[in-house]
Amino acid sequence: MSSTVLVIGASRGIGLEFVRQYRDAGHRVIATVRDEPARERVLALGAEVHLIDVAQPASVSGLAWLLDGVRIDIAIYVAGVIRRPNALTPPTQEDFDAVMHTNVLGAMQVLPQIAPMVEEASGVLAFLSSSMSQIGSVEDSESWIYRASKAALNMAVAAAQNDYPRATLVTIDPGWVQTDMGGTGAPVQIDNSVSGMRSVLASLTPEDKGQLLHYDGRRAAHW
């Protein structure tokens, strides 16, 4: 059965792969990208495209108007950035703002705009997080701004679940993926990560609401 899928942050990497796989499966896909070259890439896959920069509140503010009340079965917030300094040096405001604006503020601004459309379809609203957000399993301080941003995202989504009971809100870890962010040495291929996440999102239970999940089906034992 065909569904309507929204991918926020489909310019490249995991977001673009979500578009490709859902289109190959015959679904209607609506995607957001930041620039014209990315728009052309997504259009070539047969998806509908809107130009949105989630790091710019003014750009995000019109998203609900652009979608015009469409029922959304699956929405995925993929947009994210990373900065790699560790706790041996103070973070710069530039790095902090870049990570927090995209990974947290952008997600929190998008959520109330699209969650009602997902709730109308009793659908799924997922946000890409990371196993690096789990406080119970921290081995080092690498990318500590990124870690903090994803931990904050987990909390924001868990809190928001209470306001949208007919939708299923989750965060999901794509694994360490071979992308520009993950690097070529990452152990997980992008198509396997995305196909795994699609399987997880298609098999959610009420117990998964507000939780952090993993692309391979594991549920986070602790945050």
What sign does the CA torsion over 182, 186, 192, 193 have?
negative
pLDDT computed for residue 132 by the predictor = 77
pLDDT computed for residue 221 by the predictor = 57
CA distance 99 to 147: 10
Q: Taking 90 as the threshold, does the pLDDT of residue 182 lie above it?
A: no
Which candidate, 176, 173, 170, 171, places its Cα nearest to that of 190? 176
pLDDT computed for residue 220 by the predictor = 67
CA distance 76 to 175: 16
pLDDT above 70: percentage of residues in the chain? 97
What is the per-residue DSSP string for 79-122?
--------TTSPPPHHHHHHHHIIIIIHHHHHHHHHHHHHHHTT
pLDDT tens string 97-120: 999 999 999 999 999 999 999 999
CA distance 62 to 15: 20
On whether the pTM is more than 0.85, the answer is yes
Confidence class for position 184, pLDDT limits 50, 70, 90? confident
The answer to whether residues 115 and 160 touch, using CB atoms and an 8 Å cutoff, is: yes
CA distance 214 to 175: 7
Two tokens, residue 49? 């495209």
Domain 4-214: state its class.
alpha beta
pLDDT tens string 63-85: 999 999 899 999 999 999 989 88
Two tokens, residue 102? 């995209």
pLDDT tens string 134-181: 887 778 888 899 999 999 999 999 999 999 999 999 999 998 777 776
